[in-house]
Amino acid sequence: MWDTFSNKYVRSSFKDSLRELQKSAREEAIRLGKSSRIARKYINDNYHDTVLEAERGGAEEEEEDEEDEE
């Protein structure tokens, strides 16, 4: 999975939408007495491209574990 907004070129193309999302997320978080991750993240341009890879055999291992429990 690729964190799209960690790329500054992609982030800049969504600049206005992202700012609105962050603003509404911040307001909602304040209303709920919580903290919003999207409101805190992507403020600066110091993010590296982030690529996440699935674990090897993740789904297969989970199915095997469920079968063992039965």
Is residue 39 within 8 Å of residue 29, measured between CB atoms? yes
Cα 6 to Cα 27: distance, rounded to the nearest angstrom? 23
Q: Quick check: is 45 in a domain? A: yes
Q: Quick check: is 64 in a domain? A: no
Q: Quick check: is 8 in a domain? A: yes
The domain tally of the chain equals 1
Q: Give the pLDDT band (50/70/90) at residue 39.
A: confident
The stretch 59-69 carries a mean pLDDT of: 57
Q: Quick check: is 42 in a domain? A: yes
Q: Quick check: is 69 in a domain? A: no
For residue range 42-61, what is the model confidence (pLDDT) as tens digits?
766 555 555 556 677 655 65
Q: Give the pLDDT band (50/70/90) at residue 65.
A: low
